[in-house]
Chain A
């Protein structure tokens, strides 16, 4: 296994369009996390899954954002009606389970909203 992968690596979209990102975690990992990182900031937690169950969502995740992990494997993050403020790096991470386990991060999807 080569680690956490994310697709696409870069996305440029016009304001108002919908975008969807995909994350494939390390295969035996039960936990999957989404973070957002803006320039000059550390990653900010968005949401996480234990298998297919979404256990926690940040208040950063407005109603335009939705995340799924339908079969407990890959996950998608969709942003509807994108705004310029959504421009950021979207990071996915996975871990075996438990707060003490290392989270392995993917390379991220850089979103630019014009």
Chain B
């Protein structure tokens, strides 16, 4: 069965510092990988996704994630965070033959001035 592990429930960081949010998954088949973000009092929004091809994917607001098949990881990184990046970040996986998303428990990123 698929599962997603987000190792850090909270990540506090100062503005302009780099950040990495970790995500590991388990699956016996090929998968699609997603990062969703939930800003305070808002719904979930897709941040970026990996389907196939280049293992490094980027979002429009400076985040990137790298698919590592051997380590079954899809860590999210940003070289310099802003206060506005404060949010809950969810890693999710879906197998190629099913539509449902399996989510991790989320990582709360708190950016301090």
Q: A43-B90, A107-B43 are in contact. Are A56 and B103 (CB under 8 A)?
A: no
Interface residue A105 (Cβ < 8 Å from any Cβ of B): yes
Cβ contacts A33-46/B at 8 Å (1 or 0 each): 10100001111110
29 pairs across A/B with beta carbons < 8 Å? A33-B99, A35-B101, A40-B9, A40-B105, A42-B4, A42-B92, A42-B103, A42-B104, A42-B105, A43-B90, A45-B100, A45-B102, A48-B100, A56-B98, A56-B99, A91-B43, A91-B44, A99-B32, A99-B94, A99-B95, A99-B96, A99-B99, A104-B46, A105-B43, A105-B44, A105-B45, A107-B42, A107-B43, A108-B43
Among A35, A55, A93, A100, which residue has its beta carbon within 8 angstroms of that of B51?
A100
Which residues of B does A touch, CB under 8 Å? 4, 6, 9, 32, 36, 42-46, 49, 51, 90, 92, 94-106
A-B interface contact total, Cβ < 8 Å: 62
| A interface size (C-beta, 8 A) | 27
The docked-state distance in angstroms from the alpha carbon of A42 to that of B92 is: 9
The docked-state distance in angstroms from the alpha carbon of A4 to that of B6 is: 27
The docked-state distance in angstroms from the alpha carbon of A48 to that of B99 is: 8
B44 A43 Cβ-Cβ under 8 A:
yes
Which residues of A does B touch, CB under 8 Å? 4, 31, 33, 35, 40-45, 48, 55-56, 58, 91, 93, 95, 98-100, 102-108
The docked-state distance in angstroms from the alpha carbon of A102 to that of B96 is: 14
